[in-house]
Amino acid sequence: MNTVIKVENLSKQYRLGEVSTGALSHDINRWWHKMRGKEDPYLRIGEDNDRTTKGESDYVWALKNVDFEVRQGEVMGIIGRNGAGKSTLLKILSRTTSPTKGELKIRGRVASLLEVGTGFHPELTGRDNVFLNGTIMGMTRKEIMQKFDAIVDFAGVERYIDTPVKRYSSGMYVRLAFAVAAHLEPEILIVDEVLAVGDAEFQKKCLGKMSEVSEKDGRTILFVSHNMTAVKNLCSTVMYMTNGSVHEIGPTNQVINSYLSHYVNSSLFQEYENSEEAPGNQFVSVKKIEIVPKLKNETDPITIDKDVDIEFEFWNKVNGATLNLSLGIYTIADEHVCQVVSNPAILPKGLCKSVCRIPANFLNDGIYKITILIVQDQSKVLFEFSDTVSFEMHESREASGWHGKWPGFVRPQFNFNLAKF
Amino acid sequence: MNDQSMQADREHWDLVIKPKNSLFALNLKEVWRYKDLLLLFVKRDFVAQYKQTVLGPVWNLVQPILTTAIFLLLFGRIANIPTDGIDPIPFYLSGITIWNYFSVCLTNTSNTFVLNASIFGKVYFPRLVIPLSVVLSNIIRFGIQFFLLLIAIVFYHFFKGAPLYISFSWVLIIPVVGLMAGLGLGLGIIISSLTTKYRDFTVLMTFVIQLAMYVTPIAYPLSFLAATKYKNLISLNPMSPVVELFRYAVFGKGTFTTGSILYSVIFTVLSLFIGLVIFTKVEKSFMDTV
């Protein structure tokens, strides 16, 4: 099989902060170095892109020395935590931005689906938008005309096709937009997490269409997702990225397992020494967050029949502020399980502490991550501390007739009696 | 596979993305491939603007009529500036028509990157398609306003006995519009490239374009300044000969020389060239700074 995408030493640097007079002086300095034939002074000082710690430099590497190849007909999944560089890589692949260093070579026509419905104009009819969106994605009018009926059929919006799309329900809008995308016929398709929209049935239809395209026509697909199920079903190879570099490339199951275990082990707690370097802002900053499972032995796995405490400490910087916490539990695929709020309290300046107990027999087995919001006056979010710590709930069933994965996010024990009538 | 063909196979890539383009990496062939998109943008611009309005494209006539009325009052009645022997209403209307085309081309193309950032951030197509579509869709608007000018000329001929000037010079309207489009496009894409990082230029544009109209012979003929030292100053404006040429084309009266026209042409070509160089440089990575 031919190599259709070849990425060599690809790096991308971003400047943090606002564009202002500082940017102008850097620009002038950069130009001055260039005029004298010297290297760009800001390329040397970039740091790894770790958004949780405060860095020294205004420049970060969103991608650093990324190398990989994709062969024709391959469906490659790209996974990694938020900020690992997945989207930046897709942006460069789809030519919406350019790399700072390195090279990228492509064989064949590329269509990128970083969003569905790019360029949809609310005032235009469904028909006009199909043509507009299709041509933006690189089709010609003639190609669209040939596929028009199939597109409308796939979206199931025949009756509304001559109505402005601003009158569409959001579901119809997305279906029409995806229908156009699904009928693109590029050699290489780049898909970002666009499947997060639409109802479950439609998602299935889209995934089906994508795998059909790669199997039948030998098209290459790059697929970024947090949805491990979708990645498992669709991809033959997976690339796992951390901090802007390729951590691992390999067969799907192997890489996904390594991703999940890496994700879990590294993050049962986070702690910061002083409030200047901790994540936060002028109102609050985080000291510590820790998962404390109530286990008999420290080395036992966390099972679903154990209580789990989440301890959270933060510095309050505004004396007498009325604060409360709001804690979100998410699955590893970013599905929101629930949101729990604490009581509001009037707090003095200084260190504050809270404990939230997730009771036993509540969460199903699986990997969960915690997001904490610090809220003022029960209405204003002062700080969002997202994807902080994560933990894995293990199965506690020992003897049972069935060993499959228990479905659902939660596994409460309700009163549920069965007896002879 | 022998070594040579493997070598050839390895070398053939449809697309190579590198940090920097060569100085003048304009790919006109690619723009041509996207001609359908260009036309659809023209349609979108035009159709979407008048959705849910009763008058629709007729709105294009309201602005020149009102502006003509104000000019008539200010420059005609109050300041008493002559109009080159042409009836005042057709005179003002002609200036406004050609100026509108230029100013709309300039202001709308200068917003290219900022207004379309959401599309540009999601999908690649030759960015030049957007400013080109602006220039094209405004030709339709120019056509409507030009039609109004024709009505005024015919009206003045039949009801006021003004001479009707029909000659080959009417053909000149095409290069005049071309020059206007080129100048608007060239300056517009220069400004649009600069505004991606520094929005100062957007602020500057809002009033510079208004002031520029007063140093262009729109509300007065260039001949009115013939005896003054300001004539040379106004002639420095590359728009001046173009406007005068337009009046010559339509009415047979205008103040320009071959040299002054050549000056405008060179100015247009230069601004287009510089514009394209900067534009193709900026379009690659403007998403990081916009």
pLDDT at A56: 57
Residue A158: how many other CB atoms lie within 10 Å = 11
CA distance B7 to chain A (A): 13
pLDDT at B2: 47
Give the torsion sign (CA, B114, B119, B123, B127).
negative
Chain A's closest residue to B13, CA to CA, is A107
Residue B22 lies in a domain: no
Residue B18 lies in a domain: no
CA distance A219 to chain B (A): 16
A80 Cβ contact partners less than 8 Å away, ≥ 6 residues apart: A86, A240, A241, A242, A247, A259
Whether residue A137 lies within 8 A of chain B, CB to CB, comes out as yes
pLDDT at B251: 86
Q: Which residues of A280-290 are buried (b: 16+ CB within 10 A; e: fewer)?
A: beebbbbbebb
The per-residue pLDDT for range B116-165, each reduced to its tens digit, is: 888 888 888 888 999 999 999 999 889 999 999 999 988 888 887 777 77
Q: Domain A269-393: what homologous superfamily?
A: abc- transporter (atp binding component) like domain (2.70.50.60)
Closest listed residue to residue B87, CA positions, set B144, B145, B164: B164
Tell me which chain B residues have a C-beta less than 8 angstroms from the C-beta of A97.
Answer: 284-285, 287-288
Tell me which chain B residues have a C-beta less than 8 angstroms from the C-beta of A124.
Answer: 44, 47-48
Whether residue A141 lies within 8 A of chain B, CB to CB, comes out as yes
Whether residue B284 lies within 8 A of chain A, CB to CB, comes out as yes
Angle at A370 between CA A366 and CA A371, to 5 degrees: 145
Residue B9 one-letter amino acid: D
Residue A394: strand, helix, or coil: strand
Using pLDDT thresholds of 50, 70 and 90, give the confidence band for residue B1.
Answer: very low
Question: Would you say B92 and B243 are in contact if contact means Cβ atoms under 8 Å apart?
Answer: no
Domain total of chain B: 1
Whether residue B19 lies within 8 A of chain A, CB to CB, comes out as yes
3-state secondary structure B216-270: CCCCCCHHHHCCCCHHHHHHCCCHHHHHHHHHHHHHCCCCCCHHHHHHHHHHHHH
The per-residue pLDDT for range B171-197, each reduced to its tens digit, is: 889 999 999 999 999 999 999 888 887
Residue B240 lies in a domain: yes
Tell me which chain B residues have a C-beta less than 8 angstroms from the C-beta of A127.
Answer: none
pLDDT at A404: 61
Phi, psi of A364 (to 5 degrees): -75, 170
Report the CATH number of the A3-11+64-262 domain. 3.40.50.300
Size of interface A-B (CB pairs under 8 A): 108
Q: What is the overall mean pLDDT for chain B?
A: 85
Using pLDDT thresholds of 50, 70 and 90, give the confidence band for residue B273.
Answer: very high
Of the candidates B18, B37, B48, which has its C-beta nearest A123's C-beta? B48
The parts of chain A modelled with pLDDT lower than 70 are: 1, 17-24, 35, 37-58, 194-204, 207, 229, 263-266, 397-405
A201 Cβ contact partners less than 8 Å away, ≥ 6 residues apart: none
Helix A126-136 to helix A170-182 angle (10° resolution) is 40
The per-residue pLDDT for range B13-61, each reduced to its tens digit, is: 888 887 766 666 667 888 888 999 999 999 888 887 777 777 778 888 8
| CATH 3.40.50.300 domain position(s) in chain A | 3-11+64-262
Closest listed residue to residue A61, CA positions, set A91, A88, A37, A41: A88
Give strand pairing partners of A250.
A238
Of the candidates B43, B51, B289, which has its C-beta nearest A19's C-beta? B289
Question: Would you say A67 and A9 are in contact if contact means Cβ atoms under 8 Å apart?
Answer: yes
Residue B80 lies in a domain: yes
Pull the structure tokens for residue B75: 């420059």
pLDDT at A323: 92
Phi, psi of B95 (to 5 degrees): -65, -45
pLDDT at B198: 78
Distance of CA A321 to the CA centre of its chain: 33
The per-residue pLDDT for range A328-350, each reduced to its tens digit, is: 998 877 788 999 999 999 999 99
Question: Would you say B108 and B189 are in contact if contact means Cβ atoms under 8 Å apart?
Answer: no
The per-residue pLDDT for range A193-251, each reduced to its tens digit, is: 765 555 666 666 776 777 777 777 788 888 888 777 678 778 889 999 988 889 999 99
A152 Cβ contact partners less than 8 Å away, ≥ 6 residues apart: A126, A130, A158, A161, A179
* ipTM of the complex as predicted: 0.80
> Are A118 and B123 within 8 A, CB to CB?
yes
Closest listed residue to residue A363, CA positions, set A419, A288, A308: A308
Tell me which chain B residues have a C-beta less than 8 angstroms from the C-beta of A14.
Answer: 288
3-state secondary structure A131-195: HHHHHHCCCCHHHHHHHHHHHHHHHCCHHHCCCEHHHCCHHHHHHHHHHHHHCCCCCEEEECCHH
Residue B30 lies in a domain: no
Question: Would you say B93 and B76 are in contact if contact means Cβ atoms under 8 Å apart?
Answer: no
> Are A97 and B197 within 8 A, CB to CB?
no
Distance of CA A248 to the CA centre of its chain: 18
Average pLDDT (B215-225) is 87
Using pLDDT thresholds of 50, 70 and 90, give the confidence band for residue B265.
Answer: very high
Residue A155 one-letter amino acid: A
Of the candidates A97, A99, A119, which has its C-beta nearest B287's C-beta? A97
Question: Would you say A125 and A166 are in contact if contact means Cβ atoms under 8 Å apart?
Answer: no
pLDDT at A44: 59
Question: Would you say A243 and A84 are in contact if contact means Cβ atoms under 8 Å apart?
Answer: yes
Burial of residue A414 (number of CB atoms within 10 Å: 0-12, 13-18, 19+):
exposed
Helix A170-182 to helix A141-155 angle (10° resolution) is 130
Share above pLDDT 90 across residues of chain B, in percent, rounded to a whole number: 33
A111 Cβ contact partners less than 8 Å away, ≥ 6 residues apart: A137, A138, A181, A184, A186, A188, A189, A190
Region for residue A230 given its phi and psi (left: phi exceeds 0; alpha: psi -120 to 50; beta: otherwise): alpha
Question: Domain range holding B172?
Answer: 37-288
Residues 127-156 of chain B with CB under 8 A from chain A are none
Chain A's closest residue to B281, CA to CA, is A98
Residue B16 lies in a domain: no
Residue B78 has what DSSP assignment? I
Residue B73 has what DSSP assignment? I
Of the candidates B119, B284, B289, which has its C-beta nearest A136's C-beta? B119
Q: Can you spell out the DSSP letters for A275-293?
A: TTTSSB-SSEEEEEEEEEE
pLDDT at A148: 93
Whether residue A106 lies within 8 A of chain B, CB to CB, comes out as yes
Burial of residue A404 (number of CB atoms within 10 Å: 0-12, 13-18, 19+):
exposed
> Are A119 and B119 within 8 A, CB to CB?
yes
Q: Which of B38, B118, B122, B284 to mutate to test the interface with A (most CBs of A within 10 A)?
A: B122
Q: Which of A8, A19, A190 to mutate to test the interface with B (most CBs of B within 10 A)?
A: A19
Residue B7 lies in a domain: no
CA distance B54 to chain A (A): 15
pLDDT at A233: 75
pLDDT at B222: 85
Closest listed residue to residue A369, CA positions, set A308, A316, A418, A413: A308
Tell me the CA distances in angstroms from B5 to A5, A290, B1, one per residue in order. 19, 60, 7
pLDDT at A202: 67
What's the predicted TM-score (pTM) here?
A: 0.73
